[in-house]
Each structure stands twice: as structure tokens, then as C-alpha cells.
Chain A
Amino acid sequence: MAIEIEQPRVGLSKVAVSKTHGEDSPYFAGWKAYDENPYHETSNQSGVIQMGLAENQVSFDLLEKYLEEHSEASSWGKGAPGFRENALFQDYHGLKSFRQAMANFMEQIRGGRAKFDPDRIVLTAGATAANELLTFILADPGDALLIPTPYYPGFDRDLRWRTSVNIVPIHCDSSNNFQITPEAMEAAYQSAESMNLKVRGILITNPSNPLGATIQRSALEQILDFAVNKNIHLVSDEIYSGSTFSSSEFISIAEILETRGYKDAERVHIVYSLSKDLGLPGFRVGTIYSYNDQVVTTARRMSSFTLISSQTQHLLACMLSNKEFSENYIKTNRERLSKRYDMIIKGLKKAGIECLKGNAGLFCWMNLSPLLEKPTRESELALWKVILNEVKLNISPGSSCHCSEPGWFRVCFANMSEQTLEIALERIHKFMEQRKRN
């Protein structure tokens, strides 16, 4: 019989025991509720409908069709002649054909209004890794990044956890549709200073998650001016750029730089990924595009910790270099997302719910503040719990996105079938009717 020996607890790192991984937030609690009782159109019709996951499932048929018609190219061809080279390929520069395809794809998304040099593309395993990597490069432990609220909850982990960098929020509110203003940026900067935090950069998401709206040209100009003035970096996370409902409404920071003759470009870095626009989050495809040579070189070296599988690079290089396919995909995907968006907005309106006017993304920003008992975070969470447990919809409370105004919720609409969306809208309608009666 083994004797139980009392062992002194061996310590782990501070990073390991901290809560900065962020998984205790309601954002994730809702997912757990879904996992335990997932809706199914036949086998579990009263389950929780997942509306807290920003996934794009509306355009898979286009990808599947491509693969069926081009399976040879993407699976290394007859006799798999390219397999060996592909399986060996671990060069952190990444497959040239893949980088070229990504550069072209990014140009197509921006209607050709900006040019991308494949040699400035650094590959990472998802935007999650790209954002963390950039933070390691642009800031030291204890420094700060300014981020407009509301923002993607994952940033708390991705930008802060292992890097020990701080996030200082730039508060935005509904009085001007949550747009980022110079006053708000300055206030955040001062706030950081007063906490003795050195600000190293500002990170924007454009189109915005969770707002589902693109940032206007004038705001982008002001943000870039602000970064120049303070001599800090500007990171533009453009992972929803291909999910704008109309091509002309998205303006990339790359276009702003183009019109300025690339003056001050060396402080600008763009993050992109195929997880949202192409609906392939499992493949872990992220990129950093930097106009700063030193950042490109360093990011590339660091990408050793998070390279993209060469098998996946190969498949996507084939797929995305097919211009006919990619053009059709971008166009069709936009149309379908737009249609979904119209559907949910109409449905919510019928139920008496207003949303922020959106033009992009896989979600809408819904205003339930009229339903709050009190304009507080606690009231918002209480309402969220009711929606989760009684209406059985997992939506994301604004507080988990650090929204300073209680009562807003992010509702995803692209990760389900139209039928399921109908059911979700019916449930909301019923819920609102009940509330009215009470």
C-alpha cells in the first residue's frame, strides 16, 4: 500500500495563477450554459440557442464546392508530389504562394484601394496569437495599450495575460453611436499617465466587434493623428473587413496611409485572419501586416512559437489564388450576411427592440436599456441571466465587453441556420410580449 506523503505545494508562475486568462467572465459562462443544453432543431428544441459566438457559417457551401472541384490541387495532387516538401516546410517566412494569396485577398476585400506587399505579411496561428505577439513587440511589461470600449472580451487575455501589459479603455457611448473621439482618446491617455502607465499604442478593431459597424474615415484620420502626436503605435485589427455588407463602406487604415503617401506608416500594424471572413477558425490562420521593417523581422522570428500548419497554408494558397473563387466568395458572403442582418434587425424591431445601426460583422449591437430596472451593470447581468435561463438564448452582455453604458447586448446571427434564427426571434418576441403584459 502506497503511503500518502504530504507534499509541499510547488509553486507555479504568477501568470499561471492569475485570472487574466479571463474565463470567469459571463461571456464564457453563457457558453457553458449552451454546452450543457445545446439547441437542436429536432432533438432538443427547447435548448439554448448560441448567439454569443461570432462565427460565420453562411458561406460554407462555396468552400465545399471549391474543394470538390479542385481536390487534387489542394490535397497535393495525384501521387502527392508536393507532400514531402510541404510536410518539411517550417520556414517562418511562410509559403510564398500563401502570402501572395493573402495579400491579394486583402486587396480584393478593400476593392483594390490599398496594396499589400507579401513580404510584409507575417503568419501566426490565428489573430489571437497575432495580437499577443504584437503586444510583446510594441510594449514592455507594465506599459499600456489604449482600446476603445466596448471591445472584444478576448483582448483582456490576448493582450495582457502573458505580456503583463495593461489595457486602458477609451470610453465610447451611445450619444454619438459609440464613435471614437479625440476627447475620449485624450482622456484615456491622461488616465494612463495618472496611473503612471506608459502608453505604447492604441488598438482599434475595424469593423468593430461588438458594435458591428465600420469606423468612419474622419475618425480614422483623427486616430492616426493622435498616434502620431503621442508618438505611439496604431494597431488596426481588421479581421471583419471581408464581412462588411457593402464593399465601399469599409475603409482600412491602409487606405488612409495611402492617401497620406505613407507618411508615419512605420507606427501602423494591421492584424487579419481568415477565421471570420472565411469561416475557418479551426485552421488557425492569422496575419500581421506591418509597415515597420523591424516589427516585421521581429514578428517573423517570434512567429516560431505560433506558425500555421504548412498543410493548411498549402490548401488555402490554392483556394485563395483562384481569383474567380475569391471574388465570388467575397461578393456572395457579403450579400448573405447583409440579408441575415436585415432579417434580425426586422425581427427585433417587430419585438420593439432597437439596435445600433450596423454595416458589418457577424452580430448586431442590441439596446435593451429600456428593460433595465436600474441603469447599472448588476441590472444588466440580471436581465442577461433571465435571457439565458428562461428565454434560452446565449447573448453577450455589454459589460463583458467593457461597455460603460449598461443595457447593450451583442447578438450573433451568422453561426446558425435561418430556421434557427427564426426560432430565436420568435422567442425574443414572446419574451418582449410577456414583459409588456407584466
Chain B
Amino acid sequence: MEFKRKNKTQLLSKIATNDRHGENSPYFDGWKAYDNNPFHPTQNPNGVIQMGLAENKLCFDLIKKWIMENPDASICTAGGVDKFKDVAIFQDYHGLKEFREAIAKFMGRVRGNKVIFDANRIVMSSGATGANETIMFCLADPGDTFLVPSPYYPGFARDLRWRTGLEIVPVDCKSSNNFRITRAAMEDAYEKAQKWNLNVKGIIIANPSNPLGTTLDIATMRSLVAFVNEKNIHLVCDEIYAATVFDSPRFVSVAEVIQDMDCCNRDLIHIVYSLSKDMGIPGFRVGIVYSFNDDVMLCARKMSSFGLVSSQTQYLLASMLSDDGFVGNFLRESSKRLAKRHYVFTKGLEQVGISCLTSNAGLFFWMDMRPLLKEQSFEGEIELWRVILNEVKLNVSPGSSFQCFEPGWFRVCFANMDDETVEVALNRIRAFVLDRENQESTRSKHCWRKKHLRLSSSSTRLYDETIMSPCMISPHSPLVRAKT
């Protein structure tokens, strides 16, 4: 007899029934809109263009070429199958030695060889998603708090909090100084947390930043290191966009900064890395925890049992990333192609008077749509977003879903489409902007020019689980329907 889908209420855990997975938000509309009507250059030229997904599709040709030329790296080919047995059995949570060595070398190269990474400190995880969660489990207890500079990757709300039971307090960054993380903002957030009786265990930053697309300058990095040392709290640096830097200033990792800071307690410093963005292979689930703290490294390694990288994938990547010629060429080409894409978009928008935050990294840019808001508020931002989504048919991401302090900013991804689609997207934006400006009265332009204080109370933002301003679900949307 077939199992019918009638289910009585069965009691599940609090974790299972709360909203911290982050998917129940009005923002879901953006994904649905794309899923229901996906753009295709010939079959559906009026469909929604996906610009809310931070994927890197620009360099697959280079990787494919390498795979074709190196059949032995794949244990499924006649050339490589004699390695099959050893690889298939290998489940040691230390990971394949060649894999760790290749990753350590790659990480060093991406940082301009200014730092050497120790292969024995490399710990695996299932993507950066797994790495961030693991590191939280190691550093903090349920109810503890981590500070996170805003705007920040929406997935942090789930990754850092869902199963760990932690809280997040944002460090508010503002457009008046290009969203730099200031010492004052850090202190402010720390004090706020103390006032709310929250035990702050650390601060987690993304460098390069998602959604800003900027790298942190050395002074800010040093300030962060000094701050955590003074408070005796942890600093987690999520460096997953390290190799997407396409313009100066060059990327400076926290690993490099602490080399010159004798006063830094290295036990406080931890790096999260992944190949999902830099190489564009999110499906392979390659996450890395690199901690300068021995206890954390050992603990994270034990925890990696819950999310090891498939040995088949370790083996392939060990081979690929030890190929110095390939890596060098890949990094160079990738930067070039990202730079070009970025230029095409930002210049195209400039022509219609839309400015973006000056950025030098990432797979997206941070677009300033404040002049187009009917009202300088988060409600105004959402109104504009719905128009862009439903009429212009572009799925871009509203700043409020990144907990941005100010309304009117949007993250726009540019590396997940081909050149033709770029043209179409640009044309649509251009047409929309001109149209909108014609419609708008001068009143809204004056509104934008006024100095603005935030209009929604930030003290409710932290505990806003049913969200007043939409909280974006992970751009690595699990809601994309499987096509195969």
C-alpha cells in the first residue's frame, strides 16, 4: 500500500521548528520570481535575470581544459582507476596529505606569497557554510554572541546561529565613510551587547567583503586585531573571496597582518576559506578552517567528521592545485575577466547616473539606488526592489537583507552569466532608471539629499526573526530547483 502524505503533528526539537534557517522571509519572492520565470536568451528573453546569486562562472573553460588534459587525476578514468581503491577507502579526517599541501600552497599564492600556510593546520569542512558553523561550535556556547560588521552575508544568520544557539550583534558601517569598519563602531556594538547582557566571544568579518566587494585596508585590519586582543575575544576572517580581487589595493590577509604584530595573541585568530567563489566550484563542497590556535585546530578537525570533503574531490583538486602553471594562469585570467565584467557594468550604470561603491573584489557590486527611492526608508527600498524584480525582471538583492544600516543600497551579482545576458541586464537597468527618473517628482530627489538618520529602530533588528525588513536567504540558494 502506498504511503500517503498525511502527517500527524510530531513533536520536533526547538531548532527544527524555529525560523533560524532563514528561509521564511518575504524576500523569498525574489527566488520564486526567478524560478517561475528564468531568463533564457532565446527561449525566454523576457524572463527574470538572476543577479542575486554570487557565483563565479567566468573561468570554467580553464578548469575543463585541465581536466581533459589530466585524466589520471580522476579516479574514474582508465588512467586513474588504479588509485580508486585507496582513495575510496580514505576517510581520515586529517585529509589527503597532497590535498592539504596543495590547498596551503594555493592559499599562499592567492595572498601574493606574502604568507606561508602550514599544510598541517589545514582542516576540512563541507564548504565555508560548514566551516563557519564549525568554528562557532569551537569558540562559543549557546547564548554567546559574535559581532558582525554590517552589511553582511545573509547566510551568516543561519550558519552562525541556527544549530549553535549563538546571537549576532551587527557593527554598523555607514556610507559616509564608504562602509569602513571603524573602531568607534566596534566599541559601540560591543557596549550594546554588554548592555543587553550578551557575552561577546568574537567578531567575524568577511574580507573581501560580501556584499560590498571591497578589501579591508591594513589600518582597519590592524585596528580589528588590536580590538580583539584588548577584549580578549576571537577574530574570524572569512576570506572566501580572496582570489576574486581584480584591482588595487591588493588583498591583505589577516595572516599577513599579524606577522608584523608582536602584541597579537595568535590563539585568537582564525581563517575560513573555500574554493566555491575563487574557483567557481561550489558543488564540490570544499571548505577550510585554518586556525592559529592549536586547541581550535584539533577540535575543528574532530568536528570535520561531520563534513569531510569527498576523497574523490580531494584527490582531483590535489592534482589540479599542485599544477603551478595552471594555478598561475587561472588566477591571472580570473582577475582579468572579473575586472572586465565589473568595468562593463559599473561604467554602464554610471552613464545613467547610478553610482556604485568603489570596489576591487568579489562577484558583485554595491549599487546606490537612493536617488530612485520614493521614500528614504526600508519600505521605500522594498518598494523599489519589487519593481525591479517584477517589472524590470532582475533579481537583485536589497541592502536590508544584508542588515544594511541605510536603505537604498542593492547588491548586484555579475559573474554568474554570459556576456550576452550582461548586455540584456544593463539595457534593462538603463531603461528602468531613465524611466523612473522621468516619473519621479523633484520631491523625492530632495528627500535623498537631506541628511538621513536611520528610520527603523536598530534595537529591534537583532531580535527580528519575523522580519520587518526582509532578511535575504542565502544567495547560495538551496531553493533553486534541481534541474537534473
Q: Using a CB–CB distance below 8 Å, which chain A residues touch chain B? A: 2-3, 5, 7-17, 21, 23, 55, 57, 60, 63-64, 67-68, 71, 74-76, 79-80, 83-97, 115, 117, 125-126, 128-129, 132, 136-141, 143, 157-158, 162, 200, 231, 233, 257-258, 261-262, 265-267, 275, 279-284, 291-295, 298, 300-302, 304-312, 315
Contacts and interface: CB of A to CB of B under 8 A. Distances in A.
B474 interface: yes
Given A14-B141, A64-B84, A93 B267 contact: no
B312 A294 contact: no
Q: Which 7 A-B pairs have the closest CB atoms?
A: A282-B311, A310-B283, A309-B310, A92-B478, A74-B76, A281-B91, A262-B3
Nearest to B126: A306
Contact of A306 (B74, B90, B307): B307
Interface of B: 1-5, 7-8, 10-16, 21, 23, 55, 57, 60, 63-64, 67-68, 71, 74-78, 81-82, 84-85, 87-91, 126-127, 129-130, 133, 137-142, 144, 158-159, 162-163, 201, 232-234, 262-263, 265, 267-268, 276, 280-285, 293, 295-296, 299, 302-303, 305-313, 316, 474, 476, 478, 480-484
Given A83-B67, A84-B60, A304 B129 contact: yes
B173 to A, nearest CB: 26
Contacts of A97: 484
A89 B142 CA distance: 32
Contacts of B303: 162
B415 to A, nearest CB: 12
A12 B138 contact: yes
15 contacts: A12-B295, A15-B141, A63-B84, A64-B85, A68-B81, A80-B68, A90-B478, A125-B126, A126-B91, A128-B305, A137-B16, A279-B89, A292-B7, A308-B285, A311-B284
B282 A55 contact: no
A91 B481 contact: yes
B89 A57 contact: yes
Nearest to B296: A12
Contact of A267 (B10, B159, B480): B10
B4 A305 contact: no
Nearest to B75: A67
A10 B87 contact: no
Nearest to A18: B299
B133 A309 contact: no
A4 B307 CA distance: 37
Given A60-B85, A67-B84, A162-B137, A291 B295 contact: no
Given A7-B265, A15-B141, A67-B84, A309 B74 contact: no
Nearest to A86: B283
Given A12-B299, A90-B285, A262-B1, A282 B310 contact: yes
A312 B313 contact: yes
B284 A283 contact: no
A80 B76 contact: no
Contacts of A57: 85, 89
A8 to B, nearest CB: 6
A298 B162 CA distance: 12
Contacts of B313: 309, 311-312
Contacts of B89: 55, 57, 279-282
B306 A10 contact: no
Contact of A311 (B87, B140, B283): B283
Given A75-B76, A137-B13, A90 B295 contact: no
A71 B77 contact: yes
